[in-house]
Amino acid sequence: MDKEKVDKYNRLLIEGNLFFYGATKGSFIFPPHGYALWKNIQNTLDKKFAARGVQNVLLPTLIPLDLLEKEKEHVTGFSPECFYVEKIGNKKLETPLVLRPTSEVMFYDWYRQILHSYRQLPLLYNQWCSVFRAEKNTTPFFRNTEFLWQEGHTLHASIQEARQFTLNVLSDYQDYAENILCLGIIVGQKTAGEKFAGALETYTVECLLPDGQCLQLATSHYFGDNFCRLMEVKFQNKDNQMQHPFSTSWGTSTRAIGALVKAHADQWGLILPFEIAPVQIAFILIGESPELINYYQEIYGLLSRHYRCQLYNKNKQVNANVLQADQEGCPFKMIIGKQELEHQEITLIRRDDVERKITIKLEENELEKKYITAAEKYCKELSEISRENKKEFEKVKIVNSFRQGQRTGKIFGIISREAQELQKNLYQKSVEFRNKHIFSVANFTELEKKIKDGSKGLFLVPFCNNLDCELKIKEKAPSYSIRCIAGEKKVDTSHKCLFCQSAAQNRVYLGRSY
Protein backbone atom coordinates (compact mmCIF):
# COMPACT_ATOMS: atom_id res chain seq x y z
CA MET A 1 0.00 0.00 0.00
CA ASP A 2 1.30 3.45 -0.79
CA LYS A 3 1.76 6.00 1.94
CA GLU A 4 -1.21 8.20 1.01
CA LYS A 5 -3.63 5.28 1.19
CA VAL A 6 -2.16 4.13 4.51
CA ASP A 7 -2.59 7.62 5.91
CA LYS A 8 -6.16 7.84 4.64
CA TYR A 9 -7.03 4.48 6.18
CA ASN A 10 -5.43 5.32 9.53
CA ARG A 11 -7.16 8.70 9.58
CA LEU A 12 -10.54 7.03 9.00
CA LEU A 13 -9.87 4.73 11.96
CA ILE A 14 -8.72 7.46 14.34
CA GLU A 15 -11.37 10.03 13.37
CA GLY A 16 -13.98 7.30 13.45
CA ASN A 17 -12.89 6.46 17.03
CA LEU A 18 -12.38 2.81 16.20
CA PHE A 19 -8.67 2.65 16.95
CA PHE A 20 -5.73 4.17 18.80
CA TYR A 21 -2.07 3.19 18.77
CA GLY A 22 -0.96 0.98 21.67
CA ALA A 23 2.28 1.61 23.55
CA THR A 24 3.97 -1.50 22.12
CA LYS A 25 4.58 -1.71 18.39
CA GLY A 26 1.73 -3.24 16.44
CA SER A 27 -0.73 -3.32 19.35
CA PHE A 28 -3.90 -1.25 19.55
CA ILE A 29 -6.31 0.38 21.93
CA PHE A 30 -10.05 0.03 21.40
CA PRO A 31 -11.71 3.39 22.25
CA PRO A 32 -15.39 3.18 23.30
CA HIS A 33 -16.80 3.41 19.78
CA GLY A 34 -14.47 0.75 18.36
CA TYR A 35 -14.99 -1.57 21.30
CA ALA A 36 -18.76 -1.24 21.05
CA LEU A 37 -18.56 -2.14 17.35
CA TRP A 38 -16.57 -5.27 18.19
CA LYS A 39 -19.06 -6.17 20.95
CA ASN A 40 -21.94 -5.86 18.49
CA ILE A 41 -20.11 -8.11 16.04
CA GLN A 42 -19.55 -10.57 18.89
CA ASN A 43 -23.22 -10.56 19.86
CA THR A 44 -24.31 -11.16 16.28
CA LEU A 45 -21.98 -14.13 15.88
CA ASP A 46 -22.73 -15.46 19.38
CA LYS A 47 -26.43 -15.68 18.48
CA LYS A 48 -25.60 -17.72 15.38
CA PHE A 49 -23.24 -19.99 17.31
CA ALA A 50 -25.69 -20.43 20.20
CA ALA A 51 -28.36 -21.53 17.71
CA ARG A 52 -25.96 -24.34 16.78
CA GLY A 53 -25.59 -25.30 20.44
CA VAL A 54 -22.16 -23.69 20.91
CA GLN A 55 -21.19 -22.55 24.42
CA ASN A 56 -18.57 -19.96 25.35
CA VAL A 57 -15.63 -20.81 27.60
CA LEU A 58 -12.33 -19.12 28.47
CA LEU A 59 -8.86 -20.66 28.62
CA PRO A 60 -5.63 -19.15 29.96
CA THR A 61 -3.43 -16.80 27.90
CA LEU A 62 -0.19 -18.62 28.70
CA ILE A 63 0.73 -22.03 27.24
CA PRO A 64 3.61 -24.16 28.60
CA LEU A 65 6.11 -24.46 25.73
CA ASP A 66 6.36 -28.24 26.14
CA LEU A 67 2.62 -28.59 25.60
CA LEU A 68 2.79 -26.43 22.49
CA GLU A 69 5.62 -28.57 21.16
CA LYS A 70 3.42 -31.67 21.31
CA GLU A 71 1.58 -30.21 18.39
CA LYS A 72 4.76 -30.40 16.31
CA GLU A 73 3.46 -30.21 12.79
CA HIS A 74 1.39 -27.22 13.76
CA VAL A 75 3.96 -25.40 15.86
CA THR A 76 6.47 -25.28 13.01
CA GLY A 77 4.23 -22.67 11.50
CA PHE A 78 4.09 -20.58 14.66
CA SER A 79 7.20 -21.08 16.72
CA PRO A 80 9.38 -18.36 15.16
CA GLU A 81 6.61 -15.83 15.79
CA CYS A 82 5.90 -16.62 19.46
CA PHE A 83 6.14 -14.33 22.48
CA TYR A 84 8.12 -16.14 25.19
CA VAL A 85 7.85 -15.69 28.96
CA GLU A 86 11.02 -17.10 30.50
CA LYS A 87 11.15 -15.04 33.70
CA ILE A 88 8.66 -14.23 36.43
CA GLY A 89 9.90 -11.62 38.85
CA ASN A 90 13.55 -12.57 39.34
CA LYS A 91 12.92 -16.25 38.82
CA LYS A 92 13.96 -17.99 35.61
CA LEU A 93 11.33 -20.56 34.52
CA GLU A 94 12.30 -24.18 33.91
CA THR A 95 9.64 -24.54 31.23
CA PRO A 96 9.18 -21.31 29.29
CA LEU A 97 5.63 -20.12 28.67
CA VAL A 98 4.26 -18.80 25.41
CA LEU A 99 1.50 -16.23 24.83
CA ARG A 100 -1.16 -18.12 22.87
CA PRO A 101 -0.90 -17.66 19.11
CA THR A 102 -3.96 -19.94 19.01
CA SER A 103 -5.42 -22.29 21.65
CA GLU A 104 -5.71 -25.72 19.96
CA VAL A 105 -3.38 -27.49 22.39
CA MET A 106 -5.04 -25.91 25.40
CA PHE A 107 -8.48 -27.03 24.28
CA TYR A 108 -7.36 -30.59 23.50
CA ASP A 109 -5.37 -30.87 26.72
CA TRP A 110 -8.57 -29.95 28.56
CA TYR A 111 -10.80 -32.20 26.45
CA ARG A 112 -8.45 -35.11 27.19
CA GLN A 113 -9.19 -34.65 30.91
CA ILE A 114 -12.95 -34.09 30.80
CA LEU A 115 -14.18 -36.33 27.97
CA HIS A 116 -15.24 -39.83 28.96
CA SER A 117 -18.45 -40.94 27.28
CA TYR A 118 -20.37 -40.49 24.03
CA ARG A 119 -23.13 -38.97 26.17
CA GLN A 120 -21.02 -35.80 26.47
CA LEU A 121 -20.67 -35.42 22.70
CA PRO A 122 -20.77 -33.22 20.79
CA LEU A 123 -18.63 -30.80 22.78
CA LEU A 124 -19.21 -27.44 21.09
CA TYR A 125 -17.01 -24.84 22.76
CA ASN A 126 -15.89 -21.41 21.59
CA GLN A 127 -13.79 -18.67 23.11
CA TRP A 128 -13.43 -14.95 22.45
CA CYS A 129 -9.93 -13.85 23.37
CA SER A 130 -6.78 -12.04 22.28
CA VAL A 131 -3.93 -13.81 20.52
CA PHE A 132 -0.33 -12.83 19.93
CA ARG A 133 1.79 -12.94 16.75
CA ALA A 134 5.12 -11.35 16.03
CA GLU A 135 4.78 -9.22 12.90
CA LYS A 136 7.43 -7.16 11.15
CA ASN A 137 5.05 -4.91 9.27
CA THR A 138 1.87 -4.10 11.09
CA THR A 139 -1.34 -2.49 9.77
CA PRO A 140 -4.21 -1.62 12.09
CA PHE A 141 -6.73 -4.47 12.25
CA PHE A 142 -5.17 -6.31 9.29
CA ARG A 143 -1.92 -7.27 10.93
CA ASN A 144 -1.32 -6.72 14.65
CA THR A 145 0.96 -8.22 17.28
CA GLU A 146 -2.05 -8.60 19.59
CA PHE A 147 -5.55 -8.85 18.20
CA LEU A 148 -8.95 -10.23 19.15
CA TRP A 149 -10.66 -13.21 17.65
CA GLN A 150 -12.99 -16.07 18.31
CA GLU A 151 -11.88 -19.69 18.05
CA GLY A 152 -14.35 -22.56 18.11
CA HIS A 153 -13.13 -26.11 18.79
CA THR A 154 -15.68 -28.92 18.60
CA LEU A 155 -15.61 -32.68 19.11
CA HIS A 156 -18.04 -35.11 17.50
CA ALA A 157 -18.77 -38.82 17.67
CA SER A 158 -19.01 -39.26 13.89
CA ILE A 159 -17.14 -38.07 10.79
CA GLN A 160 -20.36 -37.07 9.13
CA GLU A 161 -21.46 -34.86 12.02
CA ALA A 162 -18.06 -33.15 12.27
CA ARG A 163 -17.88 -32.44 8.53
CA GLN A 164 -21.43 -31.11 8.53
CA PHE A 165 -20.61 -28.86 11.49
CA THR A 166 -17.61 -27.41 9.61
CA LEU A 167 -19.95 -26.50 6.75
CA ASN A 168 -22.69 -25.18 9.04
CA VAL A 169 -20.31 -22.73 10.64
CA LEU A 170 -19.03 -21.77 7.20
CA SER A 171 -22.57 -20.84 6.21
CA ASP A 172 -22.89 -18.78 9.41
CA TYR A 173 -19.74 -16.90 8.44
CA GLN A 174 -21.05 -16.38 4.92
CA ASP A 175 -24.30 -14.97 6.27
CA TYR A 176 -22.38 -12.76 8.69
CA ALA A 177 -20.11 -11.41 5.95
CA GLU A 178 -22.91 -10.76 3.47
CA ASN A 179 -25.81 -9.66 5.65
CA ILE A 180 -24.11 -8.15 8.68
CA LEU A 181 -20.85 -6.74 7.31
CA CYS A 182 -22.52 -6.14 3.90
CA LEU A 183 -19.51 -7.43 1.97
CA GLY A 184 -19.39 -9.06 -1.45
CA ILE A 185 -17.33 -12.18 -0.78
CA ILE A 186 -16.10 -15.42 -2.26
CA VAL A 187 -16.52 -18.67 -0.36
CA GLY A 188 -14.75 -21.93 -1.06
CA GLN A 189 -12.37 -24.67 -0.05
CA LYS A 190 -8.65 -24.06 0.37
CA THR A 191 -6.16 -26.02 -1.76
CA ALA A 192 -3.71 -28.51 -0.22
CA GLY A 193 -0.98 -25.84 -0.11
CA GLU A 194 -3.14 -23.27 1.65
CA LYS A 195 -5.14 -25.34 4.13
CA PHE A 196 -4.51 -25.20 7.85
CA ALA A 197 -1.70 -27.51 9.06
CA GLY A 198 -3.27 -30.74 10.30
CA ALA A 199 -6.68 -30.07 8.73
CA LEU A 200 -8.22 -32.47 6.22
CA GLU A 201 -10.42 -29.71 4.80
CA THR A 202 -10.27 -25.94 5.19
CA TYR A 203 -13.05 -23.62 4.02
CA THR A 204 -12.69 -19.87 3.77
CA VAL A 205 -14.63 -16.63 3.36
CA GLU A 206 -12.55 -14.12 1.42
CA CYS A 207 -13.22 -10.51 0.56
CA LEU A 208 -11.67 -8.43 -2.22
CA LEU A 209 -11.14 -4.93 -0.87
CA PRO A 210 -10.99 -1.68 -2.88
CA ASP A 211 -7.18 -1.67 -2.85
CA GLY A 212 -7.26 -4.94 -4.81
CA GLN A 213 -6.00 -7.10 -1.96
CA CYS A 214 -7.89 -10.12 -0.76
CA LEU A 215 -8.69 -10.55 2.93
CA GLN A 216 -9.30 -13.89 4.63
CA LEU A 217 -12.30 -13.02 6.82
CA ALA A 218 -13.07 -16.38 8.40
CA THR A 219 -12.07 -20.04 8.12
CA SER A 220 -13.63 -23.34 9.14
CA HIS A 221 -11.56 -26.53 9.40
CA TYR A 222 -12.37 -30.23 9.54
CA PHE A 223 -9.59 -32.26 11.21
CA GLY A 224 -10.84 -35.84 11.08
CA ASP A 225 -9.37 -37.46 14.21
CA ASN A 226 -5.87 -36.04 13.57
CA PHE A 227 -5.71 -33.67 16.52
CA CYS A 228 -7.46 -36.03 18.90
CA ARG A 229 -4.94 -38.77 18.08
CA LEU A 230 -2.04 -36.40 18.57
CA MET A 231 -3.41 -35.09 21.88
CA GLU A 232 -4.74 -38.45 23.10
CA VAL A 233 -8.37 -37.40 23.37
CA LYS A 234 -10.64 -40.46 23.60
CA PHE A 235 -14.17 -41.46 24.59
CA GLN A 236 -16.15 -44.60 25.20
CA ASN A 237 -18.60 -45.02 22.32
CA LYS A 238 -22.05 -46.63 22.32
CA ASP A 239 -20.46 -50.06 21.82
CA ASN A 240 -18.28 -49.57 24.93
CA GLN A 241 -15.16 -49.17 22.76
CA MET A 242 -12.58 -46.43 23.28
CA GLN A 243 -12.15 -44.24 20.20
CA HIS A 244 -10.93 -40.79 19.14
CA PRO A 245 -13.58 -38.19 18.41
CA PHE A 246 -13.59 -36.13 15.18
CA SER A 247 -12.94 -32.44 15.49
CA THR A 248 -13.39 -29.04 13.86
CA SER A 249 -12.12 -25.53 14.46
CA TRP A 250 -13.22 -22.17 13.08
CA GLY A 251 -12.45 -18.53 13.65
CA THR A 252 -12.84 -14.91 12.67
CA SER A 253 -11.14 -11.80 14.03
CA THR A 254 -10.96 -8.01 14.38
CA ARG A 255 -9.80 -7.98 10.75
CA ALA A 256 -13.50 -7.67 9.96
CA ILE A 257 -13.34 -4.08 11.21
CA GLY A 258 -10.53 -3.27 8.78
CA ALA A 259 -12.59 -4.78 5.97
CA LEU A 260 -15.68 -2.77 6.95
CA VAL A 261 -13.74 0.47 6.93
CA LYS A 262 -12.00 -0.11 3.61
CA ALA A 263 -15.11 -1.37 1.86
CA HIS A 264 -17.69 1.17 3.00
CA ALA A 265 -16.04 4.51 3.82
CA ASP A 266 -16.65 7.68 1.79
CA GLN A 267 -15.08 11.16 1.75
CA TRP A 268 -16.66 12.08 5.10
CA GLY A 269 -15.70 8.98 7.02
CA LEU A 270 -17.02 5.54 7.97
CA ILE A 271 -20.34 4.07 6.93
CA LEU A 272 -21.34 1.32 9.35
CA PRO A 273 -24.05 -1.27 8.67
CA PHE A 274 -27.13 -0.61 10.81
CA GLU A 275 -27.18 -3.91 12.67
CA ILE A 276 -23.74 -3.55 14.23
CA ALA A 277 -23.31 0.25 14.39
CA PRO A 278 -22.50 1.34 17.98
CA VAL A 279 -24.72 4.39 17.46
CA GLN A 280 -27.59 3.58 15.10
CA ILE A 281 -29.27 6.97 15.36
CA ALA A 282 -27.26 10.14 15.98
CA PHE A 283 -29.45 12.94 17.30
CA ILE A 284 -28.53 16.44 16.15
CA LEU A 285 -30.25 19.35 17.87
CA ILE A 286 -30.53 22.74 16.15
CA GLY A 287 -31.47 25.20 18.87
CA GLU A 288 -31.83 24.86 22.62
CA SER A 289 -35.27 26.17 23.62
CA PRO A 290 -36.99 24.23 26.41
CA GLU A 291 -39.79 23.20 23.98
CA LEU A 292 -37.22 21.82 21.56
CA ILE A 293 -35.44 19.90 24.32
CA ASN A 294 -38.78 18.49 25.48
CA TYR A 295 -39.67 17.39 21.97
CA TYR A 296 -36.25 15.81 21.50
CA GLN A 297 -36.50 13.98 24.83
CA GLU A 298 -39.87 12.50 23.91
CA ILE A 299 -38.56 11.16 20.57
CA TYR A 300 -35.30 10.01 22.12
CA GLY A 301 -37.22 8.21 24.88
CA LEU A 302 -39.35 6.35 22.32
CA LEU A 303 -36.46 5.32 20.12
CA SER A 304 -33.73 4.54 22.65
CA ARG A 305 -35.76 1.63 23.98
CA HIS A 306 -35.26 -0.17 20.68
CA TYR A 307 -32.27 1.40 18.97
CA ARG A 308 -28.79 2.50 20.08
CA CYS A 309 -29.18 6.29 20.16
CA GLN A 310 -26.79 9.07 21.09
CA LEU A 311 -27.00 12.85 21.19
CA TYR A 312 -24.05 14.42 19.38
CA ASN A 313 -23.47 17.73 21.15
CA LYS A 314 -19.88 17.68 22.42
CA ASN A 315 -18.77 20.29 19.88
CA LYS A 316 -19.84 23.91 20.02
CA GLN A 317 -21.06 24.03 16.45
CA VAL A 318 -23.84 21.94 14.91
CA ASN A 319 -21.69 21.34 11.83
CA ALA A 320 -18.92 19.82 13.91
CA ASN A 321 -21.43 17.52 15.59
CA VAL A 322 -22.75 16.45 12.19
CA LEU A 323 -19.20 15.82 11.00
CA GLN A 324 -18.41 13.71 14.06
CA ALA A 325 -21.52 11.56 13.58
CA ASP A 326 -20.54 11.10 9.93
CA GLN A 327 -16.93 10.28 10.75
CA GLU A 328 -18.10 7.67 13.25
CA GLY A 329 -20.28 6.11 10.56
CA CYS A 330 -23.70 6.44 12.28
CA PRO A 331 -26.25 4.99 9.80
CA PHE A 332 -28.84 7.68 10.62
CA LYS A 333 -28.84 11.25 11.78
CA MET A 334 -32.07 12.51 13.27
CA ILE A 335 -32.28 16.27 12.99
CA ILE A 336 -34.56 18.13 15.37
CA GLY A 337 -34.85 21.89 15.02
CA LYS A 338 -37.41 24.66 15.17
CA GLN A 339 -39.13 23.61 11.96
CA GLU A 340 -39.45 19.98 13.07
CA LEU A 341 -40.95 21.08 16.38
CA GLU A 342 -43.45 23.40 14.69
CA HIS A 343 -44.75 20.75 12.29
CA GLN A 344 -44.51 17.87 14.76
CA GLU A 345 -42.16 15.97 12.49
CA ILE A 346 -38.59 14.77 12.42
CA THR A 347 -35.94 14.76 9.72
CA LEU A 348 -33.95 11.61 9.09
CA ILE A 349 -30.76 11.46 7.01
CA ARG A 350 -29.26 8.23 5.83
CA ARG A 351 -25.49 8.04 6.04
CA ASP A 352 -25.05 6.57 2.56
CA ASP A 353 -27.20 9.25 0.92
CA VAL A 354 -26.66 12.47 2.87
CA GLU A 355 -28.42 14.68 0.31
CA ARG A 356 -31.85 13.11 0.81
CA LYS A 357 -33.97 14.37 3.71
CA ILE A 358 -36.61 11.94 4.95
CA THR A 359 -39.47 13.66 6.77
CA ILE A 360 -41.52 11.68 9.28
CA LYS A 361 -44.83 13.27 10.31
CA LEU A 362 -46.07 12.43 13.79
CA GLU A 363 -49.49 14.06 14.13
CA GLU A 364 -52.49 11.75 14.63
CA ASN A 365 -54.84 11.28 11.69
CA GLU A 366 -58.60 10.64 11.79
CA LEU A 367 -58.24 6.88 11.71
CA GLU A 368 -55.85 6.84 14.64
CA LYS A 369 -58.30 8.94 16.62
CA LYS A 370 -60.93 6.24 16.06
CA TYR A 371 -58.60 3.54 17.33
CA ILE A 372 -58.02 5.55 20.46
CA THR A 373 -61.77 5.81 21.05
CA ALA A 374 -62.07 2.02 20.77
CA ALA A 375 -59.21 1.54 23.20
CA GLU A 376 -60.91 3.86 25.68
CA LYS A 377 -64.10 1.80 25.43
CA TYR A 378 -62.16 -1.42 26.00
CA CYS A 379 -60.61 0.04 29.11
CA LYS A 380 -64.07 0.89 30.44
CA GLU A 381 -65.26 -2.67 29.89
CA LEU A 382 -62.21 -4.10 31.62
CA SER A 383 -62.87 -1.83 34.59
CA GLU A 384 -66.37 -3.20 34.91
CA ILE A 385 -65.18 -6.80 34.98
CA SER A 386 -62.44 -5.92 37.39
CA ARG A 387 -64.82 -4.26 39.80
CA GLU A 388 -65.82 -7.80 40.79
CA ASN A 389 -62.13 -8.50 41.13
CA LYS A 390 -61.29 -5.23 42.97
CA LYS A 391 -58.48 -4.59 40.51
CA GLU A 392 -57.67 -1.07 39.24
CA PHE A 393 -57.19 -0.43 35.54
CA GLU A 394 -55.20 2.60 34.53
CA LYS A 395 -57.12 3.90 31.57
CA VAL A 396 -54.81 6.83 30.98
CA LYS A 397 -51.81 4.52 30.87
CA ILE A 398 -53.36 2.17 28.33
CA VAL A 399 -54.53 4.95 26.02
CA ASN A 400 -51.20 6.77 26.28
CA SER A 401 -49.31 3.63 25.50
CA PHE A 402 -51.58 3.22 22.46
CA ARG A 403 -50.77 6.78 21.36
CA GLN A 404 -47.05 6.26 21.88
CA GLY A 405 -47.32 2.98 20.04
CA GLN A 406 -48.77 4.82 17.04
CA ARG A 407 -45.93 7.34 17.01
CA THR A 408 -43.33 4.67 17.50
CA GLY A 409 -44.89 2.60 14.75
CA LYS A 410 -44.59 5.44 12.25
CA ILE A 411 -40.94 6.07 13.04
CA PHE A 412 -40.03 2.39 13.30
CA GLY A 413 -41.63 1.51 9.99
CA ILE A 414 -39.52 4.07 8.17
CA ILE A 415 -36.29 3.40 10.05
CA SER A 416 -36.59 -0.34 9.61
CA ARG A 417 -37.21 0.04 5.86
CA GLU A 418 -34.42 2.58 5.38
CA ALA A 419 -32.00 0.52 7.47
CA GLN A 420 -32.58 -2.43 5.18
CA GLU A 421 -32.09 -0.21 2.14
CA LEU A 422 -28.83 1.10 3.56
CA GLN A 423 -27.52 -2.40 4.19
CA LYS A 424 -28.64 -3.54 0.74
CA ASN A 425 -26.98 -0.53 -0.85
CA LEU A 426 -23.64 -1.15 0.92
CA TYR A 427 -23.79 -4.81 -0.02
CA GLN A 428 -24.67 -4.13 -3.66
CA LYS A 429 -21.77 -1.72 -4.08
CA SER A 430 -19.38 -4.24 -2.61
CA VAL A 431 -20.76 -7.03 -4.83
CA GLU A 432 -20.45 -4.82 -7.92
CA PHE A 433 -16.85 -4.04 -7.07
CA ARG A 434 -16.11 -7.74 -6.64
CA ASN A 435 -17.84 -8.73 -9.87
CA LYS A 436 -15.96 -6.08 -11.85
CA HIS A 437 -12.65 -7.31 -10.49
CA ILE A 438 -12.84 -11.03 -11.09
CA PHE A 439 -11.00 -11.88 -14.30
CA SER A 440 -11.13 -15.24 -16.04
CA VAL A 441 -7.62 -15.95 -17.23
CA ALA A 442 -6.95 -18.96 -19.48
CA ASN A 443 -3.19 -18.96 -19.92
CA PHE A 444 -0.04 -17.78 -18.19
CA THR A 445 0.88 -15.07 -20.74
CA GLU A 446 -2.48 -13.43 -20.16
CA LEU A 447 -1.94 -13.57 -16.38
CA GLU A 448 1.52 -12.01 -16.68
CA LYS A 449 0.12 -9.22 -18.82
CA LYS A 450 -2.69 -8.53 -16.33
CA ILE A 451 -0.24 -8.36 -13.45
CA LYS A 452 2.12 -6.13 -15.44
CA ASP A 453 -0.78 -3.80 -16.32
CA GLY A 454 -1.47 -3.50 -12.62
CA SER A 455 -4.96 -5.01 -12.84
CA LYS A 456 -6.10 -5.33 -9.29
CA GLY A 457 -8.46 -8.11 -8.47
CA LEU A 458 -8.96 -11.85 -8.43
CA PHE A 459 -7.88 -14.08 -11.29
CA LEU A 460 -9.98 -17.15 -11.93
CA VAL A 461 -7.57 -19.70 -13.38
CA PRO A 462 -7.62 -23.43 -14.28
CA PHE A 463 -5.62 -25.52 -11.83
CA CYS A 464 -4.39 -29.13 -11.64
CA ASN A 465 -4.96 -29.49 -7.84
CA ASN A 466 -1.40 -30.73 -7.45
CA LEU A 467 0.49 -29.65 -4.33
CA ASP A 468 3.89 -29.64 -6.13
CA CYS A 469 2.50 -27.36 -8.78
CA GLU A 470 1.01 -25.06 -6.14
CA LEU A 471 4.35 -24.65 -4.40
CA LYS A 472 5.83 -23.28 -7.63
CA ILE A 473 3.27 -20.46 -7.89
CA LYS A 474 5.29 -18.20 -5.61
CA GLU A 475 8.15 -18.29 -8.14
CA LYS A 476 5.92 -17.74 -11.10
CA ALA A 477 3.65 -15.09 -9.62
CA PRO A 478 5.31 -13.60 -6.55
CA SER A 479 3.00 -12.02 -3.93
CA TYR A 480 0.05 -13.98 -5.39
CA SER A 481 -1.49 -17.06 -3.87
CA ILE A 482 -4.51 -19.28 -4.35
CA ARG A 483 -7.32 -17.87 -2.21
CA CYS A 484 -9.69 -20.80 -2.74
CA ILE A 485 -11.21 -23.26 -5.17
CA ALA A 486 -14.15 -21.82 -7.13
CA GLY A 487 -17.22 -23.81 -6.19
CA GLU A 488 -18.29 -24.36 -9.80
CA LYS A 489 -20.52 -27.35 -10.52
CA LYS A 490 -19.13 -27.95 -14.00
CA VAL A 491 -15.54 -27.43 -14.95
CA ASP A 492 -14.38 -27.33 -18.56
CA THR A 493 -11.92 -30.23 -18.43
CA SER A 494 -10.36 -29.28 -21.75
CA HIS A 495 -8.63 -26.47 -19.86
CA LYS A 496 -4.99 -26.85 -18.89
CA CYS A 497 -3.48 -25.92 -15.52
CA LEU A 498 -2.16 -22.40 -15.81
CA PHE A 499 1.14 -23.32 -14.20
CA CYS A 500 2.04 -26.86 -15.35
CA GLN A 501 -0.16 -27.43 -18.42
CA SER A 502 -1.51 -30.76 -17.15
CA ALA A 503 -5.29 -31.27 -17.12
CA ALA A 504 -7.18 -28.82 -14.89
CA GLN A 505 -9.32 -30.28 -12.09
CA ASN A 506 -11.11 -27.05 -11.31
CA ARG A 507 -10.64 -23.30 -11.30
CA VAL A 508 -9.14 -21.39 -8.40
CA TYR A 509 -9.08 -17.73 -7.36
CA LEU A 510 -5.62 -16.22 -7.44
CA GLY A 511 -5.13 -13.02 -5.48
CA ARG A 512 -2.85 -10.87 -3.38
CA SER A 513 -3.30 -11.34 0.33
CA TYR A 514 -2.96 -8.96 3.26
Task: Give residues in contact with a second copy (CB under 8 A).
Answer: 20, 22-24, 27-32, 35-36, 38-39, 55-64, 67, 79-91, 97, 99, 106, 109-110, 113-114, 119-120, 125, 130, 132, 134, 145-146, 148, 314-315, 367, 370-371, 374, 377-378, 381-382, 385, 388-389
Dist. CA 329–CA 308, nearest whole Å: 13
Question: Which residues between 177 and 216 bind Zn ion (CB under 5 A)?
Answer: none
Binder among 497, 507, 508, 511 for Zn ion (CB under 5 A) = 497
Sequence-distant (6+) residues with CB within 8 A of 67 are: 105, 106, 109
Q: How far is the CB of 146 from a second copy (least distance, A)?
A: 5
Strands 438-440 and 353-361: unpaired
Number of residues near Zn ion (by CB under 5 A): 5
For Zn ion, which is the closer residue by CB, 362 or 497?
497
The entry of Zn ion, a second copy, none that residue 389 binds, CB within 5 to 8 Å by partner kind = a second copy
For a second copy, which is the closer residue by CB, 121 or 473?
121
Residue type for position 158: S
Q: Judge whether 483 and 458 are in contact, CB under 8 Å.
A: yes
Binding mask 429-468 for Zn ion (x = CB under 5 A): -----------------------------------x----
For a second copy, which is the closer residue by CB, 17 or 174?
17
For a second copy, which is the closer residue by CB, 86 or 432?
86
For a second copy, which is the closer residue by CB, 402 or 433?
402
CB atoms within 10 A of CB 171: 14
Q: Is 257 in the site for Zn ion (CB under 5 A)?
A: no
Alpha-carbon distances of 114 from 110, 118, 121, rounded to whole Å: 6, 12, 11
The DSSP line for 383-421 is HHHHHHHT----HHHHHHHHHHHHHHHHHHHHHHHHHHH
The entry of Zn ion, a second copy, none that residue 499 binds, CB within 5 to 8 Å by partner kind = Zn ion
The entry of a second copy, Zn ion, none that residue 497 binds, CB within 5 to 8 Å by partner kind = Zn ion
> φ and ψ at 255, to 5 degrees?
-55, -35
Q: Judge whether 82 and 154 are in contact, CB under 8 Å.
A: no
Nearest to 139 by CA among 9, 246, 298, 229: 9
Strands 353-361 and 345-350: antiparallel
Question: Which residues between 463 and 492 bind Zn ion (CB under 5 A)?
Answer: 464, 469
The entry of Zn ion, a second copy, none that residue 61 binds, CB within 5 to 8 Å by partner kind = a second copy
* Contact residues: Zn ion, CB under 5 A: 464, 469, 497, 499-500
